[in-house]
Structure 1
Amino acid sequence: MTLAQKLAGLVLVVILLLVLGGGCGAWLAARHYRPLLDAANTNLVTTRSALDSLEALAVEQSRKLGELVQAGELRERNAALAQEKARQEARPDYAAANNLLRERTGGDPAQAARAIIDKELGL
Structure 2
Amino acid sequence: MIPVSAGDGRLLAYLLAALLLICLGAAIGVWQAERHYRPLLDGAGSDLASCRSARGNLEALASEQGLKLGALVLAGNERQARAEQALKDADAGARANFEAANRLQQEYTGGDQCAAASSIIDKELGL
Give the structure-2-normalised TM-score. Answer: 0.88
Give me the CA root mean square deviation.
1.4
Structure 1 segments unaligned to the other structure (5+ residues)? none
Letter in 1 for 2:12: A
Residue 56 (structure 2) aligns with: 52
C-alpha deviation, 1:122, in angstroms? 2.0
Greater alpha carbon shift after TM alignment, 95-104 vs 80-89: 80-89
C-alpha deviation, 1:87, in angstroms? 2.1
Greater alpha carbon shift after TM alignment, 108-117 vs 50-59: 108-117
Match of 2:6 among 2, 8, 27: 2
C-alpha deviation, 1:108, in angstroms? 2.7
Structure 2 segments unaligned to the other structure (5+ residues)? none
Residue 106 (structure 1) aligns with: 110
Match of 2:81 among 59, 77, 81: 77
Residue 29 (structure 2) aligns with: 25
Q: Does 1:39 align with 2:49?
A: no
Q: What do residues 27-50 of structure 1 show as CA deviations (whole Å, max 9, x unaligned)?
A: 101101111111111111111111
Identity of aligned residues (%): 50
CA distance in 2 between partners of 1:71 and 1:28 (Å): 65
Letter in 1 for 2:125: L
Give the structure-1-normalised TM-score. Answer: 0.91
Letter in 2 for 1:53: N
Aligned residues: 123
CA distance in 2 between partners of 1:29 and 1:15 (Å): 21
CA distance in 1 between partners of 2:30 and 2:38 (Å): 11
